[in-house]
Chains A and B, each alone.
Chain A
Amino acid sequence: MNYAFDYGWLFVYWPVLVKGIGITLELTLVGGVLGVALGIACAWARALGPGWLRPVVATYVELIRNTPFLIQLFFIFFGLPALGVRMGELEAANLAMVINLGAYGCEIIRAGIQATPNGQFEAGASLGMSRLQTFWHVVLIPALQRIWPALSSQIVIVMLGSAAVSQIAAEDLTFAANFIQSRTFRAFEAYFVATAIYLALAIALRQALRGLGWTLFPKRTAR
């Protein structure tokens, strides 16, 4: 192999990378928060919601979990305008990430809800709480605490999966790498640097979520 690696372009193109990192983080933050919120709503609907809502949510979850993120993205960005729903690439990227995380989050959170001992629902009812109140005040937080590690991993997976949004020209980190390689012809180096940044982001995000877990769920002794 006589190939001379050249990372000199970093001095010129680092602002492009920084901008890409910013957009990837922004997408992850919005997608993560809204996706978890959607996941909680769907988990409630599937585990405790009205009878007619359960099959609807189940269908949504199965559809999303059994199709590739890339196709969901293309369907939203290229397909929906046929129905008159038009949006920019960042909105489409965010929407796809929210819908995707919502479906996976639903299944994860539902597992947490179903692990709640029945006595907690009965205790809530005996205090005169409605089923929704019991869910919100009694069941939800311990349920989230139980599945927080799994949910964190899923958020990291969504962050890594967001690399695909470069395909609808959302200017994330992968888009930045594509841009740089098209200017410098240093394809391997550009993707190598981007990959290293993704790895650092994944490790940092995992730590941040672990920290968030400690803040959200301070040690509870009762179990």
Chain B
Amino acid sequence: MDEFTTWDILRNLLLAARWTVLLSLVSFIGGGLVGAALLFARIGEGRIGPAFVKTYVELFQGTPLLMQLFLAFFGLGLFGIDVPAWLAAGVALILWSAAFLTEIWRGCVESVARGQWEASSSLGMGYLQQMRHVILPQALRIAVPPTVGFSVQVVKGTALTSIIGFVELSKAGTIVTNATFEPFTVYGFVALIYFCLCWPLSKSSQILERKLNVAHRNH
């Protein structure tokens, strides 16, 4: 039997961490795009759009991400497609991130004072113009810290994709453990790598919150 050095363990985990990073980026960006589309439906006029998005958010926030991954994995399979784990993981994480991001951003848009809408409509602006020139520039400023904060949830969420067989950092941890019989060291390293990915994001979210939160500074 080959001996595994600590460096062997760490090197293999770091190689697998690339997939965690890639999947996080895809989920976050994809989720952001879908979330933005949902946001417009949610705060727009009309009945069906907001009701649909409300239900969507309720469904994705009220069920475990793990179940969503399973349903994406086996659900896509029902259409006769041979579903690779990365596809199911990507689809589920994008839809899941979208639900949370759209809800975060809705809060930001709604925190822009009502009078701003009224003022801009009194200037004869249409809905899109109001959004483009008045609401979004203010809402975006408020949205940056919680959005960065949510990216931490995305990185941590990718760990669950190991369960449907996507080989990223967590799955690599299990594989390396099975080869080395050193769960303490291996999972310790896995946790450390996740920490190194997530902590800078958490920290910058906090710093941004302090920097950008001008409106609430004098609380």
Residues from chain A with Cβ under 8 Å of B74 in the complex: 187-188, 191
- The reply on A202 being an interface residue by CB < 8 A is yes
Query: CA–CA, A160 to B100, complex, Å?
Result: 15
Decide if B194 touches A195 in the complex (CB within 8 Å).
Answer: no
Residues from chain A with Cβ under 8 Å of B194 in the complex: 66-68, 71
Complex: chain A residue closest to B79, CB-CB: A1
Residues from chain A with Cβ under 8 Å of B77 in the complex: 188
Residues from chain B with Cβ under 8 Å of A174 in the complex: 64, 66-67
Decide if B162 touches A70 in the complex (CB within 8 Å).
Answer: yes
- The reply on B115 being an interface residue by CB < 8 A is no
Q: Tell me how far the C-beta of A79 lies from the nearest C-beta in chain B, rounded to whole angstroms.
A: 4
- The reply on B86 being an interface residue by CB < 8 A is no
Q: Given A188-B75, A195-B71, are A75 and B63 neighbors across the interface (CB < 8 Å)?
A: no
Residues from chain A with Cβ under 8 Å of B22 in the complex: none
Pick the contact of B67 from A1, A72, A163, A167 — CB < 8 Å? A163
- The reply on B26 being an interface residue by CB < 8 A is no
Complex: chain A residue closest to B182, CB-CB: A82
Query: CA–CA, A80 to B188, complex, Å?
Result: 10
- The reply on B97 being an interface residue by CB < 8 A is no
Chain A interface extent, by class: 35 or more
Decide if A74 touches B63 in the complex (CB within 8 Å).
Answer: no
Most chain A CB inside 10 Å of its own CB: which residue of B75, B182, B187 = B187
- The reply on A155 being an interface residue by CB < 8 A is no
Restricting to A61-85, which residues have a CB under 8 Å from any CB of B?
62-63, 65-72, 74-75, 78-83
Contact with B along A131-158 (1 / 0, CB 8 A): 0000000000000000000000000000
Decide if B202 touches A164 in the complex (CB within 8 Å).
Answer: no
Query: CA–CA, A79 to B188, complex, Å?
Result: 8
Complex: chain B residue closest to A76, CB-CB: B187
Contact with A along B56-81 (1 / 0, CB 8 A): 00010011111110110011011110
Residues from chain B with Cβ under 8 Å of A71 in the complex: 159, 170, 173, 187, 190-191, 194
Q: Given A1-B79, A188-B75, A199-B59, are A72 and B162 neighbors across the interface (CB < 8 Å)?
A: no
- The reply on A217 being an interface residue by CB < 8 A is no
Complex: chain A residue closest to B20, CB-CB: A68
Q: Is the interface of B mostly helix, strand, loop or mixed?
A: helix
Q: Is the interface of A mostly helix, strand, loop or mixed?
A: helix
Decide if A3 touches B156 in the complex (CB within 8 Å).
Answer: no
Residues from chain A with Cβ under 8 Å of B70 in the complex: 177, 187, 191
- The reply on B184 being an interface residue by CB < 8 A is yes
Pick the contact of A78 from B159, B187, B202 — CB < 8 Å? B187
Complex: chain A residue closest to B163, CB-CB: A167
Complex: chain B residue closest to A162, CB-CB: B64
Decide if A191 touches B67 in the complex (CB within 8 Å).
Answer: yes
Residues from chain A with Cβ under 8 Å of B156 in the complex: 66-69
Query: CA–CA, A83 to B187, complex, Å?
Result: 13
Pick the contact of B184 from A1, A83, A167 — CB < 8 Å? A83
Chain A interface (Cβ < 8 Å from any Cβ of B)? 1, 3, 62-63, 65-72, 74-75, 78-83, 160-164, 167, 174, 177, 187-188, 191-192, 194-195, 198-199, 202-203
> What are 12 A-to-B residue pairs whose CB atoms are below 8 Å?
A62-B195, A66-B152, A66-B198, A74-B190, A75-B188, A78-B184, A161-B64, A164-B160, A174-B67, A188-B77, A195-B67, A199-B62
Given contacts A65-B198, A163-B67, list 20 more A-B pairs with CB under 8 A. A1-B79, A62-B195, A65-B152, A67-B198, A68-B159, A69-B156, A69-B159, A70-B159, A71-B194, A74-B173, A75-B184, A75-B191, A78-B184, A79-B187, A82-B182, A163-B65, A164-B160, A192-B71, A195-B63, A198-B64
Which 4 residue pairs are nearest across A and B when measured between Cβ atoms?
Answer: A68-B159, A163-B64, A66-B198, A78-B183
Chain B interface (Cβ < 8 Å from any Cβ of A)? 59, 62-68, 70-71, 74-75, 77-80, 152, 156-157, 159-160, 162-163, 170, 173-174, 177, 182-184, 186-188, 190-191, 194-195, 198-199, 202
